[in-house]
Amino acid sequence: MDPAQQYSQPDSLHSTAETSQSSPKTRPAPVPHAIYKDILEIMLEPEITAEAFSKLREQPNAPLLLDVREPWEFQTASLPNSVLIPMGEIPSRAHAELDPDAPIVVLCHHGARSLSVTMWLRNQGFEHAQSLAGGIDAWSRTIDPTIPRY
């Protein structure tokens, strides 16, 4: 086969014997959703809305609220019962100070840093970590306007 033609043919990764078969290739039948149901129920979305987290906070086994902003931001505006570990300190402190089996909601100003930390935590085995979508700013706008915006 001409190398230039190899990339334009869909079966270019198969041997000549496989591509010369006369029967067309078909995709395998899709797996029924029911098989994945248990897995999907266990998996968490990477983000949680302020409204959904507000309801979770009212429950007895509320997730740990991990604030990854800088100390000056935490002093400017923070949520009660949150734990401050600035983003830059997460790699050195997470395994010593956080429970990988516990639900954790990660908070920052607008949600970008917290989502980054959430994904890092998940890669480190903290499967129940979620980022607060929109950060403390969204919390202040939708849940508690007494929390200062900055």
In this structure, what is the dihedral angle of CA atoms 80, 98, 61, 109, given to the nearest 10 degrees?
40
Domain boundaries, the chain: 45-142
Output the pLDDT for position 44.
86
Is the sign of the CA dihedral 16, 17, 20, 24 positive or negative?
Answer: negative
Output the pLDDT for position 72.
98
Catalytically annotated residues: 108
- For the chain (length 150 residues), average pLDDT per consecutive 10? 41 40 55 50 83 94 96 98 98 98 97 98 97 98 98
Order of all β-strands in the sheet with 47-48:
47-48, 129-132, 104-107, 64-67, 82-84
CA–centroid distance for 88 within its chain: 18
Output the pLDDT for position 84.
98
Output the pLDDT for position 34.
53
Residue of 51, 81, 76 lying closest to 150 (CA atoms): 76
Give the CATH class of 45-142: alpha beta
